[in-house]
């Protein structure tokens, strides 16, 4: 069979298989991310049936997936909302950063992966999955709850932290010196600040540039602008993902709403490809040795996320049930943890076991996060019912 025909058959099988896996995930009420990762593991290096001949398309598709993930994340916020959220949540955000990055850093150092591995794993365990959390809150009807703004403000802080963290990580992975790393950080901070100021004052002009009455022209403009900005950002060592995120912030109003509606199917398609590519590049044989560390890390960072949400909600005067819901909502990790690990793996700057640990960790947390959010209320009610007779 001709190479092109083989590639088309393989891609068709992958996309159709992803559709089946997504349907299964939807039926049982969890994120499809674990299924996509497992699919990649099954058909990657060392898997059941390794696929060949689609590496170039899959890699590029995965990169586009990351760009679209960050672009749509930026479209969810206006610059004013980000600034307001940062003012309200900076203290809770700092607590979140310290409590949840330290376990990843500690595990990486204990496993002998050095400072670079520690930087990567700190990011993997720190960042919650905005996508999974938003879906779970919507499914459970909690978007109007008192604790939900607390959860969202912490997620906003995490997103802004990523805008600073990713350029630093990119510079370190590229082998930059300390001076180079500081330069990358400085450039990142200047760019983020500049974009926020421009978005606050001139966001309507950015929206006007990409807007169009024609859906076809509008889609081409938005997607083209995202890829252009991402490419320029990467060339400036600011990270393609951050460039897309900042463009999303600069687009506002009805333009942002239309862009989100039109790009969501593309994001889901290419994001699924990104998770598959990460799985394809991870040898399943490397996972058993790190499963103990993955489960231990999952247990510790579940506790630290719950503690973060509980403390932040308590500061806002929210009752115990709301504090518990806020903490449980933050548990899930997913797309951005894999983005971070993927950057490190593609740069060949970390041990192969790190990809295996990140994959196992995300598999556990992407499943346990939504489950924790669902069971927290029954568990709290049961605990309260048991305490009442004892108190009496």
Tokens 């998770």 belong to residue: 275
CB hemisphere CA count around 30 (13 angstroms): 22
Does residue 386 register a pLDDT over 80?
no
Q: Which of 23-27, 39-43, 70-74, 182-186 has the lowest mean pLDDT?
A: 182-186
Per the prediction, the chain carries an average pLDDT of 81
83 vs 293, more confident? 293
CA distance 68 to 174: 23
CA distance 133 to 100: 17
What would the two tokens of residue 208 be?
Answer: 């006007």
CB 220 within 8 A of CB 44: no
Report pLDDT for 120.
92
Residue closest to 196 by CA, chosen among 165, 148, 236, 156: 156
Tokens 């990351």 belong to residue: 66
- pLDDT category at 175 given cuts 50, 70, 90 is low
Give, in order, the Cα–Cα distances in Å from 67 to each of 50, 61, 234, 335.
Answer: 27, 10, 11, 12
CATH of domain 3-383: 1.20.1530.20
Give, in order, the Cα–Cα distances in Å from 173 to each of 165, 178, 189, 239, 331.
Answer: 12, 12, 19, 12, 27
Q: What is the pLDDT of residues 137-150, one digit of tens each?
A: 877 788 778 888 88
What would the two tokens of residue 67 be?
Answer: 């760009």
Q: What is the pLDDT of residues 76-93, one digit of tens each?
A: 766 666 666 667 678 888
Cα(first)–Cα(last) distance of the chain, in Å? Answer: 77
What would the two tokens of residue 129 be?
Answer: 């999955």
What would the two tokens of residue 70 be?
Answer: 């960050």
Residue closest to 54 by CA, chosen among 89, 85, 14, 19: 14
310 vs 381, more confident? 310
CA distance 117 to 350: 6
Report pLDDT for 47.
59
Mean pLDDT of 180-188: 62
Q: What is the pLDDT of residues 154-165, one digit of tens each?
A: 887 887 788 778
Report pLDDT for 32.
82
CA distance 121 to 38: 21
Residue closest to 320 by CA, chosen among 159, 192, 146: 146
CA distance 197 to 191: 10
Does residue 194 register a pLDDT over 60?
yes
Report pLDDT for 129.
85
Does residue 324 register a pLDDT over 90?
yes
Q: Which residues contact 323 (CB under 8 A, 6 or more apart)?
A: 147, 309, 310, 313, 314
Q: Which residues contact 349 (CB under 8 A, 6 or more apart)?
A: 116, 172, 173, 175
Mean pLDDT of 178-189: 61
CA distance 109 to 119: 10
What would the two tokens of residue 230 be?
Answer: 């991402």
Q: Which residues contact 213 (CB under 8 A, 6 or more apart)?
A: none
273 vs 127, more confident? 127
Mean pLDDT of 276-297: 84
CB 264 within 8 A of CB 76: no
């Amino acid at each position: 069979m001709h190479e092109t025909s083989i590639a088309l058959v393989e891609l068709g099988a992958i996309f159709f298989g992803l559709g089946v896996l997504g349907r299964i995930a939807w039926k049982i009420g969890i994120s499809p991310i674990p299924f996509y990762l497992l699919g990649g593991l099954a058909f990657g290096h060392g898997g059941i049936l390794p696929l060949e001949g689609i590496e170039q398309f899959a890699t590029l598709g995965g990169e586009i997936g990351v760009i679209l993930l960050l672009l749509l994340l930026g479209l969810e916020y206006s610059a004013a909302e980000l600034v307001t959220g940062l003012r309200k949540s900076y203290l809770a955000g700092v607590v979140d950063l310290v409590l949840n990055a330290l376990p990843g850093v500690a595990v990486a150092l204990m496993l002998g992966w050095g400072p670079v591995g520690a930087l990567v794993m700190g990011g993997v365990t720190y960042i919650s999955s905005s996508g999974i959390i938003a879906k779970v809150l919507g499914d459970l009807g909690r978007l109007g709850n008192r604790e939900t703004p607390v959860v969202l403000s912490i997620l906003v802080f995490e997103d802004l932290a990523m805008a600073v963290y990713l350029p630093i990580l990119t510079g370190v992975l590229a082998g930059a010196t300390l001076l180079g790393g500081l330069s990358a950080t400085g450039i990142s901070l200047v760019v983020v600040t500049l974009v926020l100021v421009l978005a606050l004052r001139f966001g309507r002009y950015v929206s006007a540039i990409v807007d169009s009455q024609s859906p076809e022209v509008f889609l081409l403009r938005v997607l083209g602008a995202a890829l252009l900005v991402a490419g320029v950002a990467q060339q400036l060592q600011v990270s393609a993902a951050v460039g897309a995120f900042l463009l999303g912030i600069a687009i506002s109003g009805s333009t942002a709403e239309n862009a989100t509606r039109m790009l969501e199917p593309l994001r889901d398609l290419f994001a699924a490809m990104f998770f598959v590519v990460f799985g394809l590049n991870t040898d399943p044989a490397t996972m058993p040795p790190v499963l103990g560390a993955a489960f231990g890390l999952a247990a510790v960072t579940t506790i630290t996320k719950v503690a973060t949400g509980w403390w932040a909600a308590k500061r806002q005067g929210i009752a115990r049930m709301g504090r518990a819901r806020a903490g449980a909502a933050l548990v899930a990790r997913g797309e951005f943890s894999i983005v971070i690990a993927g950057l490190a793996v593609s740069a060949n700057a970390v041990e192969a076991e790190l990809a295996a640990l990140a994959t196992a960790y995300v598999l556990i947390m992407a499943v346990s996060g939504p489950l924790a959010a669902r069971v927290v209320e029954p568990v709290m009610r049961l605990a309260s019912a048991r305490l009442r007779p004892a108190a009496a």
